[in-house]
Structure 1
Amino acid sequence: MEFETLTQDIDGVRTVVKAIGHGPAVLALHGAATIEGYEWARGLAERFRVYLPFHPGFGESAEAPHISGMQDLVVHSLRLIKALGLERPHLVGHSMGGWMAAEIAAVAGERFGKLVLNAPAGLNHPDHPGADLSQIPPDQFPAYLAHNVEVAARYFPGGSECPSVEDFVAAREKESPALGNILNAHGMGHPNLGRWLSRIPNETVIVWGNRDRMLPASQAPLWQAAIPNARTLIIEDVGHFAMQEDPRTVTAIGDFLAK
């Protein structure tokens, strides 16, 4: 089964979406970079039709310098869902994509099925701080992304699933200002996100690797307590890239969505 490439014009932004599989629709939102790719979605493709958009300015989508915060991406995503003709898709978000999915569900949850928040960013809780990206040496990034460093290392220069060094650097240079446009307002989150989560009507699972060094799993109870119909799934001995480190993570997500 191969990935298809779909293209939509959303408010003048050429938006590229990878799609794979057959079955109920799942919209999967990536994090603050596209380093780890989207191959993980093959684990859902036998049961679901998975749509994996590149956010504006990321991956194969066009740049969008007008983006000035997460709310712009929420509106972009809602318009993209309409353009794709999706009816009540399940919503999956990882890291920054989890923050995005949470905000989408808080304002328009009735338009979706179930919600999966995989190590979501966004809360910025002072007692459970995430890693300070500016303080991580480049050669240490893989160790922050996966407990088994070899898993994350394959997405970086010299790794088996990394493009050329030139392409890797070009992608980061493209995505860095796009990320900056999102974070300029409030950093990696919103000060009122915790207040909004109670509006989420969707059945929700919060997935977290217990060895996550990027965003600590100690945040999971905060999310579960704030979302009315939520439960938590802790994955043992994996880090921020739980879906890449342990394929059983993807299977568990699929089982939740299929019930």
Structure 2
Amino acid sequence: MTGSGVENGTPRSRVLQLGVERPAVEVLEAGEGAPLVFLHGAGGVPAWEGVLPLLAGQYHVYAPLLPGFGQSTGLDYLQDQFDLFLHGFDVIEALGIERPYLVGESLGGWIAAEMAALRPRDVGRLALAAPIGLWRDESPVEDLFGHMVHEMVPLLFHDPTGPAAQRMLALTQLYSDKDDRSEEQIETLIALARGFRTAAKFLFPVPEHGLEHRLWRITAPTLVLWGEGDRFVAPCYAEIFGEKVGGACVRMIPDAGHLIGLERPQPYADAVLAWGRGER
């Protein structure tokens, strides 16, 4: 994952030390131009693919890894979700960025929305791709921790037979009962387990912590993207974000499930880049 350059397809990895007895943060970055901070979902950033190299064609993309992912530490340092949101600003400040374009998807979308609500003057522009964080009993968010790993693929992708879905399905085979795993596969399993521990700390048992009552505080121009075929977080939540965030623009992506950035990266990137130019 490391590289000597900051090419669109070959990110550079570096580790930021936030201070004495404070977390270390691995940051992947690529591209040139204005800063765009990308907050990943519960799956982390397993590869620099999908929407990320497309965004890096126009922006200097920074993708900090949450505690427990990659080389990022400090999960025990974060006591609750508000520590998590403030940690996001600590990372941005350590990068020397002011009022960035903040893009978050799923878990990262929730974090980005909360950050924009808590410190609205510190977010210049906001794009949320299928964020979690809201709840309706009639359309409950799927339980990330209540399914076998292979059962998640049809929930996360509009087309479970597509190439991105099949790559994820192949990854789930690592969880099968076998003794011939390579050292690299074992390391991948350990990394996935660490990442899911982070997600569980803040999302279990219900991924709802009052965000809906804070959405009105967001003042950054906000784009909300949702896959029309999202079976993990129902598309009806896009309407709620659109209603609660003043002036928000909602875009539905056809032929996309929850993981828009992997399944339909081009329309996702086109929308985010157009929003960055001030287009609706």
TM-score exceeds 0.5: yes
1:104 matched to 2:115? The reply is yes
> Could you tell me whether the CA contact under 8 Å between 1:56 and 1:178 is conserved in 2?
yes
What is the aligned partner in structure 2 of residue 52 from structure 1? 63
Offset at residue 235 of structure 1 (A): 0.3
> Could you tell me whether the CA contact under 8 Å between 1:146 and 1:240 is conserved in 2?
yes
Map 1:83-162 → 2, pairs under 5 A = 83-149=94-160, 150=162, 151-157=164-170
Offset at residue 32 of structure 1 (A): 1.7
Aligned-residue identity in percent:
29
Amino acid at match of 2:29: A
1:180 matched to 2:187? The reply is no
What is the aligned partner in structure 2 of residue 74 from structure 1? 85
> Could you tell me whether the CA contact under 8 Å between 1:87 and 1:111 is conserved in 2?
yes
What is the aligned partner in structure 1 of residue 14 from structure 2? 6
Residue 115 of structure 1 aligns to a residue in which SS? Answer: strand
1:252 matched to 2:252? The reply is no
Residue 133 of structure 1 aligns to a residue in which SS? Answer: coil
What is the alpha-carbon distance in structure 2 between the residues aligned to residue 53 and residue 35 of structure 1? Answer: 9
What is the alpha-carbon distance in structure 1 between the residues aligned to residue 195 and residue 260 of structure 2? Answer: 22
Deviations 1:187-239 (A, max 9, x none): 3121x211100000011110000101111111111111000120100001110
Match of 2:233 among 203, 206, 215: 215
Higher CA-based Rg: 2
Deviations 1:220-259 (A, max 9, x none): 1111100012010000111011121112211221111122
Greater shift, 15-24 or 105-114, is seen at 105-114
What is the alpha-carbon distance in structure 2 between the residues aligned to residue 188 and residue 18 of structure 1? Answer: 26
Offset at residue 156 of structure 1 (A): 4.4
Normalised TM-score (structure 2): 0.85
What is the alpha-carbon distance in structure 2 between the residues aligned to residue 153 and residue 133 of structure 1? Answer: 19
What is the alpha-carbon distance in structure 1 between the residues aligned to residue 243 and residue 90 of structure 2? Answer: 30
Amino acid at match of 1:46: G
Deviations 1:68-103 (A, max 9, x none): 322111111111111100021101110011110011
Runs of 5+ consecutive residues of structure 1 not aligned to the other structure: none
Residue 46 of structure 1 aligns to a residue in which SS? Answer: coil
1:165 matched to 2:185? The reply is yes
Match of 1:195 among 213, 221, 225: 213
What is the alpha-carbon distance in structure 2 between the residues aligned to residue 36 and residue 217 of structure 1? Answer: 25
What is the alpha-carbon distance in structure 2 between the residues aligned to residue 231 and residue 26 of structure 1? Answer: 19
What is the alpha-carbon distance in structure 1 between the residues aligned to residue 46 and residue 224 of structure 2? Answer: 20
Runs of 5+ consecutive residues of structure 2 not aligned to the other structure: 1-6, 173-181
What is the alpha-carbon distance in structure 1 between the residues aligned to residue 223 and residue 248 of structure 2? Answer: 6
What is the aligned partner in structure 2 of residue 232 from structure 1? 250
1:29 matched to 2:72? The reply is no
> Could you tell me whether the CA contact under 8 Å between 1:68 and 1:181 is conserved in 2?
no
